[in-house]
Amino acid sequence: MTGRTRAVLACAAGAAFALGCATLRFPAAPADGTLTRGMWVWSSAALLQDPAAQRALMAFSRTHGIDSLWMQVTTARVGDRTAPFELEVSSASAWRGLVAAAHATGLTVEALDGDPTYADRAFHYVPLAIADAVLAFNRDSAPPERFDGLHFDNEPYLLPGWHDRATRERLLADYLALNDEIQRRVRRQPPMTYAVDLPFWWSALDLVTGEPVAAVTYNGVRRSAAAHSLERLDSVTVMNYRNHTAGPDGLVAIATPVLVEAARIPGATVRIGIETSRFLQSPVWFAIGPPAAQVGGTLGQTWRLTYPGDGFSLRTFDDGLRIHLGTAVPDTVAGQPPPTALIDIAARFSPRRESADIDIAAALRAFDRSPEWRDARPAPIRDPETGIEYAGVTAVHVPLPTLTFATRAEVLDDEIRAAERAFRQFPAYRGLAVHDYDAFRDLPRGAWPTRRSEGR
């Protein structure tokens, strides 16, 4: 998904011992070639026009055992807005040079993109156009210049409609239909492959329903969306974001359900993704949202595409009664006017401030109970055109430190080795992937092994 938070850690002399700067390593894949290492690269646009930065990326990848780069592809609209929607790979010549250089150093390159809205059938035309653009690029390029695969990181659970059971099932069915169609197009142009990113918890058991959390009936078969994907696609990467291996909430435990599902599916291929980003605290301004039972329908469809000029990215919070809708804002709301998109959401879904004391109090209690939020307080949303104040709250999002190795950089090597030993027992397991290049590169590090030093 775009807009990833970069990890920025300084390995100053005074912090070297605590951060393990002298010993941090990311072990290369085993020498038998059965496992690989992938890495997400979201900063492709900046790299395309900077040969020195490209060389640094490839040298970094070789040093740290990375075999495959998953690079966000850059595309541009073909024709005007009255023409059928068509995209092409922009800066095609630069891409050809970059891909050829990566291949010359032994790296594969997958064209990466993603957005939650792509999962919704109403917007399938966008990812399908991206897929067609990449396939056309490969047809027009010499073999060394071609992408090795197409890779989508669409996360439909970030849409507010996900909180409504019926809408969630529709989104999952739409998501699977999109992937089916892209996989069909990719298989018509071998040896290119298709991969997607999935959250680990889609295969986890929902204790209320007794089904997997992401259960969906697709083509007459009811199973988790993860199992459907494993059966149909060339490869899946499980976003398995924890910074420890052992225990009931460790890397191995949370990945096991999807690896068990994959073991039942002939030919299934799974990579396990780890996180290295340093998540920043962010203030979020929420409009008091609709009751959870009313959150389906069109609510989950259009927000990011509706407000591109605002840089608006929707955030949601479920307090058990209502689904609140908001966006990250600058350091403080004090003295700041609400974003246009937030005013529009409040006008459509929020009660007026003077009649919402109970709803605001319920939201504040839920924020206070959550370990991921702090400093929740009322924050009315005033429409400057009408003067109406709608009910709103602000809170600071504090991501859990256990989600990323940025908070335990000193144990990365040992934890990854322990996880690898456990994952190798599963037949579908094909290696690790690290999210993402900018964050991983900026982790404190010292004597990182080369492939040769790992026996490769």
pLDDT tens digits, 362-375: 999 999 999 999 99
Instruction: Write out the E strands in 173-264.
Output: 193-199, 215-218, 221-224, 235-239
- What CA dihedral angle connects 174, 177, 183 and 189, to 10 degrees? -110
pLDDT tens digits, 90-117: 999 999 999 999 999 999 999 999 998 8
Rounded distance between C-alpha atoms, residue 221 and residue 198, angstroms? 19
Token pair for 256 = 């096991």
Mean pLDDT along residues 150-175: 91
Closest CA to 380 of 347, 402, 408: 347
Distance CA 123, CA 109 (A): 26
Residue 308 has pLDDT above 50, yes or no: no
- pLDDT score of 300 more than 90: no
Give the chain's mean pLDDT: 86
* Tokens found for residue 154: 């669409």
Residue 23 has what pLDDT?
34
Q: Please give the average per-residue pLDDT across 50-72, as a whole number.
A: 95
Give the whole-angstrom CA distance, residue 27 versus residue 40: 17
The 10s digit of each residue's pLDDT in 394-433 is 999 999 999 999 999 989 989 999 999 999 999 999 999 9
Confidence check: pLDDT of 7 > 60: no
Question: What mean pLDDT do residues 378-403 have?
Answer: 96
User: What's the pLDDT at 6?
Assistant: 26
**How would residue 333 be classed by pLDDT, with cut points 50, 70 and 90?**
low
Res 299: pLDDT: 52
Q: Token match 């399938």: residue?
A: 124
Query: 195 Cβ partners below 8 Å, 6+ apart?
Result: 70, 110, 149, 150, 151, 152, 233, 234, 235, 236, 237, 271
At 186 the pLDDT is: 98
Residue 22 confidence (pLDDT): 30
Average pLDDT over residues 67-71: 97
Q: Region 43-69: what's the mean pLDDT?
A: 95
* Interatomic CA distance for residues 172 and 214, integer angstroms: 8
Cα distance between residue 238 and residue 262, in whole Å:
11
- Rounded CA separation 114/205 (Å): 26
Can you list the domains of the chain with their CATH numbers?
Answer: 13-279+400-454 (3.20.20.80), 282-397 (no CATH)
Q: What is the pLDDT of residue 21?
A: 30
> Residue 332: what pLDDT?
61
Q: How far is CA 214 from the centre of its chain?
A: 17
pLDDT in tens, 212-249: 999 999 999 999 999 999 999 999 999 999 999 999 99
Comparing 118-132, 287-301, 420-434, the range with the smallest average pLDDT is 287-301
* Lowest-pLDDT choice from 31-35, 135-139, 444-448: 444-448
Q: For the whole prediction, is pTM greater than 0.85?
A: yes
Give residue 19's pLDDT.
27
pLDDT at 166 over 90: no
Confidence of residue 453 (pLDDT cuts 50, 70, 90): very low
Confidence class of residue 454 from pLDDT cuts 50, 70 and 90? very low
